[in-house]
Structure 1
Amino acid sequence: MCLILPAMASRKDRPESPPASGLVRDLIAQFDDPMDFYRELVQNSIDAGANRIDVTLRWGEGSCLIRVEDDGRGMDAGTIDGALLVPLASQKDGDLTKVGGAGFGFLSVFAVKPERVRVLTGQGTSGWQVDMSGPAAHEKKPLEEPREGTAVEILKAMDEAEFRAFVEASRSALQRWCRHSEARVFFAAPDAPSQLVVQPFALAGASLRYAEEGTEIELGFTDEPSPSFGLYNRGLTIAEGCREFIPGVRFKAKSRYLSPDLSRSGVLDDENYRKLLAILRRLAEAGLPAKLREESERTAQAAAGDPARAAADWGRRGRFLEHLAAGDRAGRIADWAMFPTLSGLAVSLAALRSGLKAGGGKLCFDEARTRVSGLLERRGTPVLLAGPWVAFAERRLGAGALRVSAAFIAPEPIADGFLPKGVRGLLESLRRLDAACGPKYAGIAAADLAGGAAEDRLFVTQKEPGTLSAADEAPAKTVLFFRSASRVLLLNAGHPHLTLFARLHGERPGLASFLCLKSVYLNDGEVPAGQAERFCSLAEKLELRLLREAMGLEPRRTGRRDGAS
């Protein structure tokens, strides 16, 4: 491959360049990464008014040629002799339309230890070529033809494997430093056509955008303890990283007032930077809370349709919400309708606080709407959709939370006429048998127990059938207490055991009724402490009585017995 700098490709023919001064060596060494020279050259091109910058890599004969060319204003002889070749002699100091200003950015090209550097530039009717074998040695001569813009060519020795690694490192450096460049930056290498490396200045998922003269800021919520941030001038990266400026807030800020520090690895902590931080704090106190409310209320209203997405959105905003709710600012979120309920409505902390009394001092929540949740809502208790907002509401209200399907029952009694014939027959036998033995119950019926804490039980008892009651509500009687029957036995119509009892009842009604009612009697109530022996004796007597009565329900069997005369 024939390179653009054939006369400079031979190392043995070039004269030794004079050593650089200590200051110049220090200026070159202060760059964190030798590849930072790309940022400095692109910065110079933008400051020269470039609209397009092309970075091209070529390799051949053991050397890599790096070419950075722009269409901006080139340099005349005076600019070359001053700003280009004299360290710290910047012409941009104090000019807010320029990114740079320190006067040593061009020296960065020597951080990659090149063989030679050539600058091709010009203005109007002039054109100049400057060849440099080192930061302290240069040769300037006019070009035969005038030119506009500037091209910087850097020749560096490397083998083919090193070149491939250098291509990737170059692409990565340009994407990092020129991510949002206001000038279009293209990168090309062998087997890689020219590609635009610039992206629009934007923060993915931003909630708030702010702009004033010379400054643009985009902010978004995050659950990261160290949120991402980016600081840019004319779209060139000054600093990127992860750090908590505002809890739960990530941001990107582009400002012509920001400057890199001398190490070029961070932002200069000056008055302009502190003004930007003041803007961020102001937005955190004013603009962001309004956006948080708007987004949180919108999420709550749509949560029933996509609970997983709603939970993810809440998690993303949670850190800033906790920050906002802390201390004296807690009252500002009290009326935000940001808590999704099973009814589809969104409620506020104030509404939840009002509903605590009806919910027994507890926050109520569940995964799906049921008869239980519907009855609670009709009593004035909001039932939250299960999600991360429940724990937040617990902390803010200082109240515990309970899953209503595990804490309440709301049986739905079923009239006999709507039951299968076998179940109707079983219920009639159970009522007859209970009446003959006590009775223990004011009534016996079947009920739908789905959606409550008793949906897996064979039965529940209630004073008022079909009402909402606590799942752990204990009847005011012992296992064998049969006086003043006041509770109704409700058998679970969907329980498999009831189905088996009903099927058995078709052939052995007495046995089926005995087994079913015995199961109920022995599991409805508690044995008083210290009376286990007495109750065992009573249980035996009850079982005999129950069995005797049950036998009366058995069908009479006919037929001659053996030995009858």
Structure 2
Amino acid sequence: MGSPAPVDVGDALDDLINQFSDPMSFFRELIQNALDAGSDEVDIDFEFQASAEQPDSGAMIVTVTDYGEGMDRAIIDSKLTRLFSSAKDGDMTKIGKFGIGFVSVFAIEPDAVCVDTARAGEAWRVLFDHERRFKRLRLDQAIEGTTIRIIKNSTRSDYEAFVTRARQVVRYWCGHANGEVRFLGEQVSEPFGLTATVAVAYEDDFSHIHIGHRPARETLHAFFNGGLTLVQADANHGSAIQELLGLSFKVSSRYLEHTLTRDDVIKDGHFNKVVARLRELARGSLRERVFEALDAHVRAGAWISGADTDGALARLLALYEAAAWHFNDGAGLSRGVGDRACARSPSGRIWTWAALRKALGDRGPLFASQRTPLSDAVEADGGAVILAFGGVHETGHETGHETDQEPQQLERTPLASLIHACKLIAPNTAAPAWLGQVWFMPLAPEPGERRAWAGLASMALRLLEDSEHRVSTVEFGRFEASGSLLGGRAAISQREFGELTPAAEAGELGKRLFSRKRALVVDADHPAVRTLLGLSQREPELAAYQLVKLFLLLGGSISAATDSQLADLSMRYRETRCPKPLS
């Protein structure tokens, strides 16, 4: 068996440098090394030195300074300038166990690198040229820690773009570093945590976790070691936990490690342990916190006014999204969650999840923008009447136009997140709707108005009876004042005047012998009815004919035979009232 081929050190070094998926990752590596050396602070600075002949060309100098232990000659010879040797191996408190952090500076192809460092009374400068050959020089002056300067020929515009990109890179990799990281004097590191609508924290010897809900179901699955980023995954990243999509979390553990390319986290037993803890938190303490926060917010009622000056409405919507996530996770309504507040009725009643699910049944959620006689009646009848919010109104969302919304449009308004939650707790419930579109209830007019309309009502009743329609009475009522939205109807039918009537039954008026008689209730505020009322003073028969025909047309259809019958009857009535003179 032949001996193995000799290893080309230059090729090995090239492989190490090129393994980084992003050349700018060297900032993370240098900061990581600084923290591992015991430095509590790291400064990153930039300088552009313009050429005297060409001011837009010159050299950029990137300086990374730490105040840690530094290096003596022994460490320089065995660690800095010798590949594959690392005292960090086996120490789980040191993230850079591959020992190649410094090599990463050559990924941006610098023209020179200068390292000044000191330890135990020794101060040294190590100079690397563009071919990565180095010289070691002893310094006379005392220095603290380690300063690395990276020099690269550049144009001014390229330098400016580099600084902009470097700021993004440092914030991404080192936003939660266990030390103060400053970029051009501005601190970029901040305490480990998660900005979210609602979140919980957990910490033990193995990991430090923050998990919660962000608006719009944003997914951020971020893994750290020592506060340094291993990967921050969105919903489309391979490291996102599929069953936790829609949640955001940050987890830091000294047992998590990055891949060789420094762009992901290694999926090993430690990773699986962290994921198991995340699942437990999502379905335990986070779930409890969400419904606890929503309960308090609904009861406080700061969102009712519609104005969102303090973010109360935005928080309500985000909490509904969070609640829907947990219902969709399959947990259902536990007793503790069922007793939590979730919405208000127009009358001010607090709906709990359990009470709302019972009221939903197969009828669906019914929304009303304000308290009305209709909302009180349907609520008393056990309907799931919910106070609309977010500026959503029956006459159009955030507009001044009288445009009745169709029920399906509700799902394209701020009410959508609550509607989604309702479907999850009551899967067989009907589609959401405006209360006034699916239930009608007239209010009785004033006695004086009733007398003024008596003639037209009497003539319409006679016409319907003589055309064999099963009608008990013709009345006039106020629908808009009750909260009913007739959608252009001039009249509806009811079993009894003034009762609650489903819209699906409002057009019924039978002609068969055994059909139950119903009351015809005319909308006193309908523009056409107002016109017919004036006409009835001169031509009551014609006005009655037009009114009955209007009801039958808007209630469904009218046959030619029925129309002809109604016209003949009305003409006969008129001839009786105004007989033709004998010739």
Contact 1:299–1:313, Cα closer than 8 Å, also in 2? no
Task: Verify the 8 A CA contact 1:414 1:445 in the aligned structure 2.
Answer: no
Rounded to whole Å, the distance in 2 between the matches of 1:522 and 1:482 is 21
Write the mapping of 1:30-429 to structure 2, written as runs, cut at 5 A. Answer: 30-60=19-49, 61=51, 62-133=58-129, 137-188=133-184, 194-205=185-196, 206-213=198-205, 215-222=207-214, 227-243=219-235, 244-245=240-241, 246-301=244-299, 302=301, 304-306=304-306, 309=314, 312-313=317-318, 316-317=321-322, 320-325=325-330, 334-355=338-359, 361-369=362-370, 370-385=372-387, 387-388=415-416, 389-397=418-426, 398-401=428-431, 403=433, 404-417=435-448, 419=449, 424=450, 426-429=452-455
Aligned partners of 1:116 and 1:155 also within 8 Å: yes
TM-superposed deviation, 1:120: 0.9
Structure 1: segments with no counterpart, 5+ residues: 1-18, 189-193, 553-565
Q: Deviations for 1:217-240, whole angstroms, at most 9, x for unmatched residues?
A: 221225778822222222222111
Q: Give 3-state SS (helix, strand or coil) of 2:122's partner.
A: coil
Partner of 1:12: none
Deviations, residues 409-454 of structure 1 (Å, cap 9, x unaligned): 111112314x3xxxx5532323554577686765444321112243
2 CA distance for matches of 1:225 and 1:437? Answer: 60
Residues 359-397 of structure 1 show CA distances to partners (whole Å, capped at 9, x for unaligned) of xx4124124243322211111222134623334433543
Q: Which residue of 1 aligns with 2:526?
A: 495
* Structure whose alpha-carbon radius of gyration is higher: 1
Q: Confirm or deny: 8 A CA contact 2:89 2:98 kept in the other structure.
A: yes
TM-score by length of 2: 0.77
Aligned partner letter, 2:264: G
**Contact 1:430 1:444 survives alignment (8 Å):** no
Q: 1:197 to 1:405 in 2, by over 3 A?
A: same
Change (3 A) 1:437 1:279: closer
**1: CA distance, partners of 2:16 / 2:262:** 11
Alignment of 1:518 with 2:545, yes or no, is yes
Q: Name the CA distance, whole Å, in 2 between partners of 1:112 and 1:399.
A: 61
For 1:213 and 1:484, how far apart are their aligned partners in 2? 77
CA shift for structure 1 position 138: 2.7
The equivalent residue for 1:563 is none
1:561 matched residue in structure 2 = none
Tell me how far apart the structure 2 counterparts of residues 536 and 134 of structure 1 sit (CA, whole Å): 98
Query: Does the 8 Å contact 1:123/1:146 carry over to 2?
Result: no
The CA deviation at 1:95 is: 2.8
Distance 1:103 1:298, change over 3 A: same
Q: Structure 2: give runs of 5+ residues left out of the alignment.
A: 1-7, 52-57, 308-312, 389-414
Quote the Cα distance in structure 1 between the aligned partners of 2:352 and 2:451.
Answer: 51
CA shift, 1:78, in A, is 2.2
Q: What amino acid maps onto 1:499 in structure 2?
A: R
Root-mean-square deviation (CA), in Å?
3.6
Structure 1, residues 91-129: CA drift from partner, whole Å, max 9, x if none?
222334333222111111222222222211112433122
Query: 2: distance between equivalents of 1:429 and 1:347?
Result: 47
Letter in 1 for 2:212: G
Describe the SS at the equivalent of 2:444: strand
Of residues 459, 474, 477, the one that matches 1:447 is: 477
Q: CA deviation at 1:249?
A: 0.9
**One-letter amino acid matched to 2:494:** Q
- One-letter code of the match for 2:456? L
User: 1:183/1:309 Cα in 2 relative to 1: closer, same or farther (>3 Å)?
Assistant: closer
TM-aligned CA distance change 1:433 to 1:90, over 3 Å: same
Q: Give identity over the alignment, percent.
A: 27
Structure 2: distance between partners of 1:199 and 1:550: 92
Question: Quick check: 2:343–2:350 contact (8 Å CA) kept in 1?
Answer: yes
Deviation at 1:500, TM superposition (A): 2.9
**Distance change (3 Å), C-alpha of 1:475 and 1:135:** closer
The correspondence for 1:472, drawn from 489, 493, 504, is: 504
Moved more, 214-223 or 39-48: 214-223
Q: Mean Cα displacement is larger for which, 259-268 or 517-526?
A: 517-526
> For the residues of structure 1 that align with 2:564 and 2:487, how far apart are their CA atoms?
32
Q: Partner letter of residue 325 of structure 1?
A: G
So what's the TM-score if we normalise by structure 1? 0.80
Displacement of 1:475 in angstroms is 7.2
How much does 1:503 deviate? 4.4
Q: Separation in 2 of the partners of 1:484 and 1:231?
A: 71
Check the 8 A contact 2:47/2:62 in 1, yes or no. Answer: yes
Structure 1 residue identity aligned to 2:342: M
Give the aligned residue type for 2:430.
Answer: G
Quickly say closer, same or farther: Cα 1:539–1:21, change in 2 above 3 A: closer
**Aligned 8 A contact 1:223 1:248 in 2:** no
